[in-house]
Every structure is written in structure tokens, then in C-alpha cells.
Structure 1
Amino acid sequence: MMIFEKIHTVPTSEELTNKAFKRAARAMSGKTIEGRESRLRANESMVLTAANIFTDNLANIVRRFPSFEQLPRFYYELTDILVGVEKLKMSLASVDWASRKIHEVARSYVGKMRDADTPDPVRKEAFGRLASIIKSINKDLLFLNEARNILRKLPDVQDEPTIVIAGYPNVGKSSFVSKITGASPEIAPYPFTTKGVTIGHFIRDGIRYQVMDTPGLLDRPMAERNDIERQAITAIHFLDAVVMFIMDPSESCGYEIEDQKRLLAEIRENFDLPLLVVANKADRPEFRKMDEIELNISTITGEGIEEVMDRLLEMIEEKRLRASEEPSTEEPDEESTL
């Protein structure tokens, strides 16, 4: 399940106020009110019912957003790019404050009603105060709903060993993903590309691996990217991943060898991840061997695919062994979670 799917639509302050006050009025509909004591109980019930609707709904909004300190770093980075983690934290803190403040104010007004000659005006004053608190966080509610709509569109990238595919268009990346996953890979929406990220999975020795192709991100020179795309590429660094760069020495992809070499150099420079360089289309007569190439494959005939897969899995294991041997440089996060 995608990490942001459980976030429900965030209501506006007006929607919350209407819901709370209608529920409070309905709680008292049809009841006979005679004498001061029954009128007092009725007004108390209305205030507490409205307050409970407010506090429950606000608490649920906060609870359904994930704890950002526990988010996988990949999603943390994408969230920060798209909506801003600090801004999200501030809005969630405001909603949390309102939830607690409404509870406090409601209890205070219940006490005032008990001391008043007539409880009805005090109840109306309480409703006004509760509505005012909710109205004060309307901008936060609007922002959280906007953030929710954006974050739900993020791809379902699992926290598992990943092979990221890079290279110019038409070199055979999607064919490779289809070949090793044995099925049509899922095309998931991705906020930085027009085509969406391609995600496939396969299982070896009981371990599930993820294969990811990001058209629009790792298939053209860095100079052609905007700042947001550059940040999106940075987020990929935080996957448990290795990178496979596919070249097409036949140039039937439409890109000359020298252009492909320049893109490879940029990927090497910008990615601090293990990198395997593979040449596709070994079945074509115009295919030629190159010094930069470590292994040759053909996604048409299947030549070299198994050898490439064995090498990629070795790289993933080597990366994990190195990571386990390196001392941790991360300091504990002192921020409290919401």
C-alpha cells in the first residue's frame, strides 16, 4: 500500500463547523427540555458533542499523515520537494493545537454554563469561540488537503533492493524491465515526468527486487533539467539501489555514441551509487564493442541477460556489505514526531 494512500480528504473549516454544529443540534432534536437542570444538561451536551466532532476530526487529520522522521528517505526528499516537510509539520502542529484547544475551551464553557443564570447565551458564546478556533486554521486545512492530493500521486516505490535503469530513450530500457520481470511493468504517476515511472519486480532466492525506469529524469543531459528535476534525481540516491546504464552502440536509438558517453559521464558524476554499464542490441549487424561497456545484451534474443542479472545482484550484495561495515555517521534526530 502506498505510504500516503490512507490520508483522507482534509475538510475546510466551514465543512467542519457545519458538521459539528449540525451533529450537536441533532443530538438534542426531539428531546423535551423542562426546567433549568434539563436545559443545562441539553446545552452542555450540545457543546461537548460539537467539541468532540471537532477534536476527533482534527486528531484524525494529524494521525493519518505519516511521521516524517520515520518516512523512508526517498519519500522524505520527494515530499520536501513537492510540498515542504517543514511547512507540513507546521500546519499539522496548528491542527493538533486546535484539537487540544477546542477540548480545553469546551470544558471551560461547561463550567461557565453551570454558574450562569441561563445556559443558552453561554452555549452560543461557546459555539462562537469554537468556530473561531477552527476558522483560524483554515489556511492550514486547505494546505494539508492540497498536499494530500499531491502526495497521493507519488509512485509506489517499495523499500527493497532496487535496480535503477538509466540511458537515452529507445536504447531498450523498458524492454529490459519487461524481460527480467516477466510481465508488463506497472506505469506509476511521477510528479516530475510526463510518462510516469516504470516499476517492475522479480524474486530471486526468496528476495524481492525492484526495477525502476524513470523516463524524463535519467534519459537526457543534466543541463536540460530544471531545479525540481535535479532534486528528484537526488531523491533516487536514497533508495537501496544500484544503477544500470544502457547504451546502444548501433545508434539505432537515434543518439550518437558520443552523446551517450557524455550522459554516462554525467550519471557517474551525479550518482554515488554502484554503476553497471551495459550495451544492448548485440543482435544487430551494426553493433560494435566499446571499451566503456562491461557486458553486452540483446533484449530481443535474451543474450547476456542472465549474466547481467547475476552481476547486478552481486553489486547489490556488495553494496550492502560495505554499508554494514561502515560506521554510522547519522546523528539521532532530536525533533519530536507529531
Structure 2
Amino acid sequence: MIFEKIHTVPTSEELINKAFKRSARAMSGKTIDSRESRLRANESMLLTAANILTDNLANIVRRFPSFEHLPRFYYELTDILVGVEKLKMSLASVDWASRKIHEISRNYVGKIRNSDLPEPVRKEAFGRLASIIKSINKDLLFLNEARNILRKLPDVQDEPTIVIAGYPNVGKSSFVSKITGASPEIAPYPFTTKGVTIGHFMRDGVRYQVMDTPGLLDRPMSERNDIERQAITAIHYLDAVVMFMIDPSESCGYEIGAQEHLLAEIRENFKLPLLVVANKSDRSEFKKLNDVDFNISTVTGEGIEDVMDRLIQMIKEKRLSSSSEETDIEPAI
């Protein structure tokens, strides 16, 4: 996953303590019996502390992904959750601190070498280093908070995707399990109380991704907050088609009218190809509806293969349409 390699971001106090303790430990047990040895000892302590600080700060910046190369889906979710510009600014502050500490430590090494009393010079340098680290404490705290949020994002691959929508208990999870042939992954998601269900299957050498997002696409828009609505918008950036599952038997606990109203909202808010599938055709209460493309049963397997063929065809048609639109765009002169 894109954000998994981001380690816990330490506070300024933790960084300072780590650097200065390691600096003191580096000199323990060494004999200091001349001016030359005192100069070398203080220089070594300063460089040890500075290197630990610069390395730790540089690693913080390096472990965050490049936002210019982030898939648009993750870019949008990152912007919604923590703010991309705010992240960039905090990372720039940390990068500045790393370079500034390197610069100051080199300057003070020269001062130590030219000093008769190196200890006060080294202590002054330590004060400057600590001051720089403390000045970015807010950035460090924010980056750690962002890291904790972003690590909860689901592992959505950049591959052909089928997004499942529909009210709870209509059979979406059963459908995902049926077509993937295994228990799908349940991933945490920062917008919902439940985990996103993600499964995969292969067809003609191509891997497809199936994603059900409980808490996002299973209730009316009026019940969603602004962040959830923006998260739904982010799904537009997946290479995806949408399958809306409806339960005509109403055994899911939701009346047909409510399910059709949600379908209308999905049509209105999603500019992605959409397929309507009625599940539970094996039940005696099942009734055929007009605005349905396929009738299936996740219990008996009836109709599932036909649905899969159509969904894959829709993905291919969407890709051809996208390629055609890109070709039709006149190049800028």
C-alpha cells in the first residue's frame, strides 16, 4: 500500500533527546587529556547529533509519497482527509530544517576547531539545533496525524475495477465472494464504520478488482456528510464501472421504492457506466422489475457469469471511449 512505508513521525522533543543522548554516548569511555582530544571530542559530538537529526528529518520526507506521481484516486482522498497543500508545506518545513541543521553544524565545526574552549561553542551549536527542531514541532505533529489517517486508506490497486453499490443486505458481499472465489480482503476506511470489501479475479490474463464500500454507496446522499460526498467523488478517478444491486424480494429490510431512489441518486452522482442487477431470484418473494439489466442469485449462482461478461465488456468499452476522447483532443500549438 502507498502509505504503509510511512513510519511514526517523532516529536521535536523525541528527536532532540535521541540526538543528544546518542552524541553523549559516542564519547563515553574515551580519554580526553589534551586540547586536541577535546577539540575532536566536541566536534564528534556535534556531528553525531547533527547527522542523527538530518537523517531522521530526511527520512520523514522521503517516506511520504510524491504527490505529483500519486494516483488521482489517492490524491483526492489525501486532499479530502488531510489536505495535500498542507502536507507539502509541512514536508517542506522538515526538509528545510534538515538542510539548515547540516549547514549550521558545518559552520560550528569550524568554530570549534578555532576555539580554545570548544565546550561552550558545542553547547551553543546544540542550542541552535534544538531551536530549529522545536520550530517545526507543529509540522511534525501534523505529519504524524496525517500518517495515522492515510494508513487507514484501503489498498485499491490501479487496475480495472467494479464498484458495487446498493443498500445493505442485498447480497453485495456474497457477490464479491462468489466471483473472487475466496474471502475478500476487508480493509479499514477512514470515512466509514465498516471496512471496504476488496476482491480480485482473473479473466483472460487480466486482473480485475471488485470493491464494495459500505457506509458510502449504501444510503441516500442526504444522510452523508461533506467528507463522505467528496470521498464518493474520488471513486470517479478509478478505472471503474458501477454495479448497482437491488433486492426485489425486500428481504434486505428496504422497500423497492427506497432502493430505486438510491439507484436514481447513484445515476445522478456517478459519471461512470452503470449496470443494474436484481439479486435473490431464488426467493419466492422475488419479482421482476423493469429497470433491471440482469436477474441473479448469489445463492444458486444463476446469472452471475452473464453479469461478469457484461461488466468486463463495459470496462473495455469505457477504455475505448476514453482513448477515443484523448485522440480527439487537438494538440496545443
Using the size of structure 1 for normalisation, the TM-score is 0.95
SS at match of 1:210: strand
Which residue in the other structure is 2:26 paired with?
A: 27
Query: Which amino acid in structure 1 is aligned with residue 255 of structure 2?
Result: E
Q: CA RMSD in A?
A: 1.3
Which residue in the other structure is 2:182 paired with?
A: 183
SS at match of 1:327: helix
Query: Which amino acid in structure 1 is aligned with residue 258 of structure 2?
Result: D
Which residue in the other structure is 1:92 paired with?
A: 91
Distance in 2, Cα, partners of 1:327 & 1:75: 23
Moved more, 110-119 or 40-49: 110-119
Instruction: Describe the superposition over 1:134-161 as per-residue Cα deviations: whole angstroms up to 9, x where unpaired.
Output: 1111111111111111111111111111
Which residue in the other structure is 1:234 paired with?
A: 233
Distance in 2, Cα, partners of 1:191 & 1:27: 43
Which residue in the other structure is 2:10 paired with?
A: 11
Query: Which amino acid in structure 2 is aligned with residue 305 of structure 1?
Result: I
CA offset at residue 285 of structure 1? 2.2
Instruction: Describe the superposition over 1:32-76 as per-residue Cα deviations: whole angstroms up to 9, x where unpaired.
Output: 122222211111111111100000000000000101111111111
SS at match of 1:278: strand
Distance in 2, Cα, partners of 1:17 & 1:248: 60
Q: What are the residue-to-residue correspondences of 1:112-123 with 2, within 5 Å?
A: 112-123=111-122
Instruction: Describe the superposition over 1:183-237 as per-residue Cα deviations: whole angstroms up to 9, x where unpaired.
Output: 1111111111111111111111111111111111111110111111101111111
Q: What are the residue-to-residue correspondences of 1:29-68 with 2, within 5 Å?
A: 29-68=28-67
Moved more, 269-278 or 319-328: 319-328
CA offset at residue 117 of structure 1? 2.3
Size of the aligned set, in residue pairs, is 329
Q: Which runs of 5+ in 2 are unaligned?
A: none
CA offset at residue 31 of structure 1? 1.4
Distance in 2, Cα, partners of 1:215 & 1:9: 29
Which residue in the other structure is 2:144 paired with?
A: 145
1:295 paired with 2:294, answer: yes
SS at match of 2:198: strand
CA offset at residue 322 of structure 1? 1.2
SS at match of 2:254: coil
CA offset at residue 116 of structure 1? 2.2
Q: Which runs of 5+ in 1 are unaligned?
A: 332-338
Distance in 1, Cα, partners of 2:6 & 2:309: 40
Distance in 1, Cα, partners of 2:30 & 2:286: 86
Runs of 4+ residues deviating >3 angstroms:
none
1:215 paired with 2:214, answer: yes
Which residue in the other structure is 1:158 paired with?
A: 157
Query: Which amino acid in structure 1 is aligned with residue 106 of structure 2?
Result: R
Distance in 1, Cα, partners of 2:223 & 2:6: 35
Query: Which amino acid in structure 2 is aligned with residue 184 of structure 1?
Result: S
Distance in 2, Cα, partners of 1:198 & 1:74: 17
Distance in 1, Cα, partners of 2:219 & 2:15: 47
Which residue in the other structure is 1:307 paired with?
A: 306
Using the size of structure 2 for normalisation, the TM-score is 0.96
Which residue in the other structure is 1:134 paired with?
A: 133
Query: Which amino acid in structure 1 is aligned with residue 302 of structure 2?
Result: E
Q: Identical aligned pairs, as a percentage?
A: 86
1:75 paired with 2:74, answer: yes
Instruction: Describe the superposition over 1:267-312 as per-residue Cα deviations: whole angstroms up to 9, x where unpaired.
Output: 0110010100111111222222222111111111111000000000
